[in-house]
Amino acid sequence: MKLDLREKRGVSILVLAGRLAAGEESQLREAVDTLLADDRNNILVDFSDVSYMDSAGIGELVASHHTVKRFYGTLKILRPGKRIHDSLSLAMLLPIFEIFEDEDIAVASFDSND
């Protein structure tokens, strides 16, 4: 998995690419931990280029969500493909995550959380 970080209006956008799967999921955890250590707790995870996510990846995403909440932050999802969306649906996790298809709308949604 490849991971890039960019910022937009106070929101940290983690751009994932490749597979979020066993053996690779720790990159997400490390990135989230680093952001939280820097007091950046508004996190948008961009799944546009994620081709596959297994149960380990789902587990890491849920764990990251809970960790961010403990730091009084919010983790949201941007542009999950059909396979990722279906995986979240099968795991009954859609109610837990706010999911967006438009980056500007997703970033603006963090303003309403303050």
pLDDT tens digits, 4-31? 999 999 999 999 999 999 887 789 999 9
CATH number at residue 71: 3.30.750.24
What pTM was estimated for this model as a whole?
0.94
Cα 81 to Cα 97: distance, rounded to the nearest angstrom = 15
Task: Assess if residue 83 is contained within a domain.
Answer: yes
Task: Assess if residue 112 is contained within a domain.
Answer: no
45-64 pLDDT, tens digit per residue, is: 999 999 999 999 999 999 99
Place of tokens 């280029």: 49
Cβ(32)–Cβ(65) below 8 Å: no
Q: How many domains, in total, are found in the chain? A: 1
Per the structure, the complete domain to which residue 32 belongs is given by: 2-107
Q: Is residue 112 scored above 80 in pLDDT?
A: no
Task: Assess if residue 114 is contained within a domain.
Answer: no
Q: What percent of the chain has pLDDT over 90?
A: 91
Pull the structure tokens for residue 53.
Answer: 């996510």
Pull the structure tokens for residue 41.
Answer: 């707790």
